[in-house]
Structure 1
Amino acid sequence: MRILVTGGTGFIGEALIPALLDKGHSVTVLSRQASPSTIAGVTYIQQLEEITESIDVVINLAGASLAGKRWNTAYKDEIISSRVALTRSLGEYFSAAEQRPSIWLNASAIGYYGPREDEELSEDSSSGHGFSAKLCRDWEASAVEAAGDARVCLLRLGVVLDEGGGAYAQMAQPFKMGVANWLGDGKQWLSWVHRDDVVSAFCFALENDQLDGPVNVTAPEPVSSRGFCFAMRKVHRTLVAIPMPGFVMRAMVGEMADELLLTGQRVLPAALMSVGFSFSCPSIDDALLQIEGER
């Protein structure tokens, strides 16, 4: 199949594209930047009008990082536009195309659920409150509208862990310096997922029409912030363990602290598990062993 990937040069896209190629698909990457490399089977474009073949599948990963900058009005507008406005522009383009994509895989995030303390959350759980929750609702709604009659999967990603980028680089930094820490009281849930399983989940959703609508892409064993700290101490030699107080986090990153760091969600991948998806890293110990290797 011919697949259009937006955000294909990002942390997830750079791992997903080789997997799609291995499965025999051809890939067109929509990127604001010029082609970063030449890969057989991949075409890089900067505008939708450069598409020269019918697109069978859209994989929409594009979006400015929520943790890229301190949140202010301008950066929030950039976050929204890079997701909602872009998705709407995709819908407008394909509504005028001779052939519309039959499958639409749209990234979203577990921020959809908002802060929920110890409540176990599945795809049937209601949306929460706050900027992240509203962003995810609007993004998902724009994807459903843009996709038209296509099968749509809304893949709500947890915190994606792997070496070479993403959240893990920042999360691991103090441990590599010998300091074990957790955020706030450490009781908030961290619903995480290894990047390999994210790639597998997208490929699985592409090939399995049993999946339709919201799909939580999180490992089946979420951990607390303290639980993550405990697991990290198994793979990093640390000299001291101290919390990062909430007031320090709020001073450092503002509103983002209460939305993304000091609160969390206990999200379970009910839809994936119900159709037989198997995680390569179901536990945080599995994931850290994959990332850091045996020590």
Structure 2
Amino acid sequence: MTEEASKKYLVVGGSGFIGRHVCQKLTEQGAEVYILSRSKENALKKLNPFWRNALSQCHWVNQLDPSMCFDGVINLSGKSLADGLWTKSLKNEIYQSRIGISQMLNHYFENCDFKPKILINASGISIYGKYKKNGEEEIISDRLENHFSQNLCVDWEQEALKAEKYGIRVCLLRLGVVIGDGGYLKRLKWPLKCGLNIQLGEDHHTFQWIHMDDVVGSIMLMLKIESMKGPVNMVAPEVINLKDLSLIYRYHFKTKINFRLSDHVVRFLFGAMGRELLLTNYVVQPNKLCENKYNFKCLEFKRNFS
């Protein structure tokens, strides 16, 4: 019997890429899981019959009844930043799918009869802006000019941290690129399997990643260790550059066509999205996870293909 047995958790975005794995792990540990999803119809398609029983009968966060009690809330909601070029309307959708939902959660926290002990809220290493050369996991309130993804993360974290005034411990997941059975790798595998390996940006740009198993394992650690709070860098200790990344793809997929697009071309093709998400030089480390003795399951990116 684990510490999570008999506990009750609300997972917002529980039918998504990360959410499904988190719900699976919590259930394996004996917890009662309650799922909210932006689209109930899409959630029913993604969830197996067992998980459909856990899908909330209320449609969204603003319909949560104050009498509903949870030991913890895990907020993984949010429209993907890589769903298309950042038009004004798409930016608004992305913003509301994060900050708007956190505002609804805070309204629920204010009025609920029993306050959760913990809120685990997604964020991203985009909060560090264009460059980050140390691993300090501090609260960031400064907003960079003309940097949508950084401003988004700042606003999201600040909204999530408001839950602290209700006595709720808040952990912020500053996620790198999550590697698993979907997401980033799913987008790449088709061209790679067809022999096409395109490096988007100059060799020196960094690629900070974390395996899905370590995302889930880190969340379980946060639920367990009550001293963990605030920002947590959710990245593997290994930092690789785009050149090494391209070589890994070339070796594993035996690609025949290998070439690189310059920074200028990436900016031209993808606009602000390319500049902010692809042409980065982050060097952040998972200090809090290491300080709390987290044992990473995947330490080398190339192991994802072994």
> Does TM, normalized by the shorter one, top 0.5?
yes
SS at match of 1:90: helix
**Cα distance in structure 1, aligned partners of 2:117 and 2:89:** 35
**Matched-pair identity in %:** 34
Shift of 1:234: 2.8
Determine the structure 1 residue equivalent to 2:17. 11
Determine the structure 1 residue equivalent to 2:33. 27
Runs of 4+ in 1 over 4 A off after TM superposition: 125-128
Determine the structure 2 residue equivalent to 1:285. 302
SS at match of 2:91: helix
Any conservation in 2 of the 1:189–1:225 contact (CA below 8 Å)? Answer: yes
Determine the structure 2 residue equivalent to 1:243. 260
Determine the structure 2 residue equivalent to 1:124. 138
SS at match of 2:161: helix
Shift of 1:228: 1.0
Determine the structure 1 residue equivalent to 2:90. 75
Deviation string 1:235-288 (CA, Å, 9 cap, x unpaired) is 211123210233332333221010001223112100000110011101112233
2:58 pairs with 1:58: no
5+ long unaligned stretches in structure 1: 290-295
Correspondence for 1:42 among 38, 54, 79: 54
Correspondence for 1:258 among 272, 275, 279: 275
Any conservation in 1 of the 2:139–2:231 contact (CA below 8 Å)? Answer: no
SS at match of 1:267: coil
Determine the structure 2 residue equivalent to 1:225. 242
Correspondence for 1:102 among 98, 101, 117: 117
**Cα distance in structure 2, aligned partners of 1:188 and 1:96:** 46
TM-score by length of 2: 0.88
SS at match of 2:131: coil
SS at match of 1:153: strand
Q: CA-atom RMSD, angstroms?
A: 1.9
Correspondence for 2:173 among 152, 155, 175: 155
**Cα distance in structure 2, aligned partners of 1:124 and 1:140:** 11
Any conservation in 1 of the 2:68–2:113 contact (CA below 8 Å)? Answer: no
Shift of 1:190: 0.7
Deviation string 1:169-222 (CA, Å, 9 cap, x unpaired) is 223343222133322212111110111111111111111113111101100002
5+ long unaligned stretches in structure 2: 1-6
Count of matched residue pairs: 287
**Cα distance in structure 2, aligned partners of 1:58 and 1:94:** 10
Determine the structure 1 residue equivalent to 2:199. 182
Shift of 1:125: 8.2
Deviation string 1:219-238 (CA, Å, 9 cap, x unpaired) is 00021111111222232111
Any conservation in 1 of the 2:139–2:230 contact (CA below 8 Å)? Answer: no
More divergent stretch after superposition (223-232 vs 48-57): 48-57
SS at match of 2:50: coil
Determine the structure 2 residue equivalent to 1:292. none
Give the letter aligned to residue 21 of structure 1: T
**Cα distance in structure 1, aligned partners of 2:183 and 2:196:** 20
SS at match of 1:12: helix
**Cα distance in structure 2, aligned partners of 1:72 and 1:43:** 32
Correspondence for 1:144 among 161, 173, 180: 161
**Cα distance in structure 2, aligned partners of 1:11 and 1:211:** 24
TM-score by length of 1: 0.91
More divergent stretch after superposition (96-105 vs 179-188): 179-188
